[in-house]
Structure 1
């Protein structure tokens, strides 16, 4: 008998610090998912967060581990505040969380954040390298948010991604982060989705940030399959298979767009 089709991502846990919970990143990701047609009673996106906490602290002093083990998440998004810690410690606790996620049947996505002035010892490129190297070693996914911020600011330097403290995200920064994470989790182009943060993001801003998010994800090669390790256990650790599946979906989306534009 043919195997069942892959199940979509339904249960997501964000593990991070204030870079995640300021402006409610998880809520914006949910809104993108709903706008894309993934809404259902089983869609559950939540967070285990602690202010100023690197993954080491989140591992030791929150209930994140217990929740991952017990609550049946499809995907766990790990956000390290890399300027707050060092690369070796980040790699250590990313690996611990990843092993814990694998044991629970959850996929791991590393949310690559951005540099900031208060702790300026590491650049966007350094943060990207730190995430890319550990992701390659673990077979984990990366949501390249920091690179999307860099791309957006290069194209439109006046875009207000940072809050006034030049560390935390302003609403547009969270919006761009959410678009990147959504694109990675669902392998879905966010461009054109009707999510404007209750009118706080203009249609022009939304279009720009959605495009930047998708371009960054495509250029980084961070697409996951539209599924979870819990739903398709054979995908565990098989990054090439997931990439092939997502390239197929991307090609189908491109064909659909070309057909519609020709009509």
Structure 2
């Protein structure tokens, strides 16, 4: 079953980055940046969660409108959209827990439901849940909705491990890293559905990056490095841009020297 069709004037190549090892490295860095930037807006600047949500969703709306409306794939724009969803995800999770008083567990249940519903609507509208390539605007819109739910869910889970379970930031990162490694093993050594594995990995790279962001910024007596949120955001952004540059060079060289296809990604 495949109801996806080409819209006249729509791109005929993917608007979403190919899922390689660089994708996952940048995803983790983007989630770290989203965590520190989200906390910087709501806490360091003292704007609170209501104003923080208004700011981050305004930026997110502009970035996604530009990304989905673009006729070509722009790596910087794509990763800006990922960072915007991780920042908004931080604000959504914190708002649900601290302003609405739902708690991380109840918030996670709501977000899991939202993610499942968004994937169901995606499949109903498009006929598949293929992550790469994505060419139709309808599929890309559903992709970004699922990304937003995933990043919000990952934030809530990471905070649940630290605040409710009582793990340190490093322990929380190790737990989520273990889950990510298990997903990678299932990808390479089993025939488990790659779409399912992709979204599991996508969700759990969020708390991995978020706990690392907390590790950078939280006080020394709380197990962190006590870096300012602004400085931690700038350092993370610099690393992310470096990895993005390397990945673009690698992609350019790979296109000029094609290699046989393999199962090196979680995009199918």
Name the TM-score class by shorter chain. Answer: 0.3 to 0.5
Structure with the largest fraction of helix: 2
TM-score w.r.t. the length of structure 1 is: 0.33
Larger Rg: 2
Structure with the largest fraction of strand: 1
